[in-house]
Amino acid sequence: MTNATAPITQDVLTLPRKLPDTGRINLVGLTRDQLRDALIAAGTPEKQARMRVGQIWQWVYHWGVREFGAMTNLAKDYRALLDRHFAIERPEVVTRQISADGTRKYLLRIAGGHEVEAVYIPEEGRGTLCISSQVGCTLTCSFCHTGTQKLVRNLTAGEIVGQVMVARDDLGEWPEPGEGSIQDRLVSNIVLMGMGEPLYNFENVRDAMRVVMDGEGIALGRRRITLSTSGVVPEIARTAEEIGCQLAISFHATTDEVRDRLVPINRKWNIATLLAALRDYPRLSNSERITFEYVMLKGVNDSDADARRLVKLIAGIPAKINLIPFNEWPGAPYQRSDWERIEAFADIVYKAGYASPIRTPRGEDIMAACGQLKSATERARKSRAEIAAETGL
Ligand code: SAH
Ligand code: SF4
């Protein structure tokens, strides 16, 4: 596919949350209000609903239980009622690969048999979970493996929260009853940098992050969550106001001519339009600085002149520039810049007053590094009706 025909509009389906096989509703990913409504609809007396929401929330998101039978502060017949109407479902783990450097990649199966990947990256004193927001991606950035995947659908909020729960299950990170809350978190940070463009699935991403941030559950604060976008300008202010997390921008080029080729959404919202939206973000979200991601492609965007243009463009925006050595994938049309080139670029950016860390590729041996994710759901692009039929919903 040439870039000239790359889709830059949203054309994906979000699935309703009824589970096809049982007719039970998955509680994972419901907001507190949605949970309350669902409990009332299932027969919970209205005046008890708030308390029940609090109790169930803690069981599901603080203790990580998967069965209503384990919710010992609820009456037996109420547990049975919950069991008839609801489920506590995570995506199914198809494979788990562990890299030589400790990085873990999960291939997860969701409704319809579709697959997404999530990656856990352990670091000194912290651990970052990289999660997906879509199966595939409608955008077709020319250096990104995910962008070559044809089937695309939005994940539900439950499927997004479910990725966090799967990682915590695998790492054994739910507290034991009697324990206080966990201090040294294995999953201490979340980045929305897996498959998909999170701002093309805004409501589900927002609801999922609100569940993850909720203090009575998983309780990861908004400063521990970073959302990466290729630059969906109309949703940037909403991200500040309705999520308030850290923002990362896939910038990658310093002229519209080059960015049009690398990040095709630039043809819709160009560099100047994007930067204007970014200038308001720190104030709106009360956050410190924006991360500019910049993939280093040999001979394409890695010159000294690019580095100088970059710092000029972002002048006045509190920022850090994350340089990402290009991660190769089969058939990729680019090469990684030489190490000396990356360092020279980093140096110019650093001397202009910006932190310019070079991102160490993690999990390359299991194809878990940035931009390498692509599930085998490699079928023809499908219509909404076909996807809906396939998921049985
Ligand atoms: N769709 C979102 C988030 C997912 S990509 C976005 O584009 O921002 C996470 C980061 O990895 C983005 O900055 C993306 O541009 C970058 N990336 C994609 N493919 C890459 C590759 N092959 N090597 C290095 N970085 C890549
Ligand atoms: Fe989609 Fe991000 Fe990959 Fe671009 S870089 S194709 S927006 S996942």
For residues 175 and 181, the answer to whether their CB atoms sit within 8 Å is: yes
**At residue 366, what is the residue type?**
I
Q: How far apart are CA 376 and CA 131, in angstroms?
A: 17
Q: Which residues pair with 325 in a beta bridge?
A: 296
Phi, psi of 32 (to 5 degrees): -60, -40
Residue located nearest, by CA, to atom 6 of ligand 2: 147
Residue 384 has pLDDT above 90, yes or no: no
Mean pLDDT calculated for residue range 304-318: 96
Distance from Cα 92 to the centre of ligand 2, integer Å: 24
* Mean pLDDT for all residues in the chain: 89
Q: How far apart are CA 260 and CA 265, in angstroms?
A: 7
For residues 324 and 293, the answer to whether their CB atoms sit within 8 Å is: yes
Residue 8 has pLDDT above 70, yes or no: no
Taking CA atoms, 211 is separated from 29, 134, 188, 189, 356, in Å, by 7, 18, 15, 14, 32
Q: What is the predicted pLDDT for the residue at 6?
A: 41
For residues 226 and 192, the answer to whether their CB atoms sit within 8 Å is: yes
pLDDT in tens, 145-173: 888 888 889 999 999 999 999 999 999 99
Distance from Cα 145 to the centre of ligand 2, integer Å: 8
Residue located nearest, by CA, to atom 8 of ligand 2: 196
- Smallest CA-to-CA distance from 190 within 153, 223, 143 is with 223
Residue located nearest, by CA, to atom 20 of ligand 1: 371
Distance from Cα 372 to the centre of ligand 1, integer Å: 8
Q: Which of 324, 327, 362, 367 to mutate to test the pocket of ligand 1 (most atoms within 8 A of CB)?
A: 324
Nearest atom (ligand 1) to Cα of 139:
1
Q: Which two tokens stand for residue 285?
A: 């979200």
Q: How far apart are CA 338 and CA 336, in angstroms?
A: 6
The residues assigned a catalytic role are: 117, 370
Distance from Cα 23 to the centre of ligand 2, integer Å: 34
Nearest atom (ligand 2) to Cα of 263:
4
Q: Which two tokens stand for residue 361?
A: 């590729």
- Quick check: CB of 135 below 6 Å from ligand 2? no
Distance from Cα 256 to the centre of ligand 2, integer Å: 17
pLDDT in tens, 325-357: 999 888 899 999 999 999 999 999 999 999 999
Phi, psi of 21 (to 5 degrees): -75, -40
- Quick check: CB of 249 below 6 Å from ligand 2? no
Four-point Cα dihedral 10, 13, 17, 22, nearest 10: -160
Task: Give the number of whichever ligand sits closest to the CA of residue 295.
Answer: 1
Q: What is the predicted pLDDT for the residue at 132?
A: 96
Q: What is the predicted pLDDT for the residue at 103?
A: 94
CB proximity list for 234: less than 8 A, separation 6 or greater: none
The binding-site residues of ligand 1, defined as CB within 6 angstroms of any ligand atom, are: 137, 141, 143-144, 193, 196-197, 228-230, 250, 293, 295, 324, 326-327, 370-371
For residues 264 and 8, the answer to whether their CB atoms sit within 8 Å is: yes
For residues 261 and 248, the answer to whether their CB atoms sit within 8 Å is: no
- Smallest CA-to-CA distance from 35 within 220, 207, 190, 167 is with 207
Q: Which residues pair with 186 in a beta bridge?
A: none
pLDDT in tens, 12-29: 555 544 555 668 999 999
pLDDT in tens, 249-267: 999 999 999 999 999 999 9
Q: What is the predicted pLDDT for the residue at 392?
A: 44
CA 62 and chain centroid, separation? 21
Mean pLDDT calculated for residue range 375-388: 54
Residue 182 has pLDDT above 90, yes or no: no
Residue located nearest, by CA, to atom 9 of ligand 1: 193
Q: Is the pTM of this model over 0.95?
A: no
For residues 126 and 198, the answer to whether their CB atoms sit within 8 Å is: no
Number of residues assigned to the chain: 393
pLDDT in tens, 77-87: 999 999 999 99
Q: How far apart are CA 319 and CA 349, in angstroms?
A: 11
Q: How far apart are CA 233 and CA 372, in angstroms?
A: 25
Q: Which two tokens stand for residue 87?
A: 């489920």
Q: What is the predicted pLDDT for the residue at 393?
A: 40
Residue 50 has pLDDT above 80, yes or no: yes
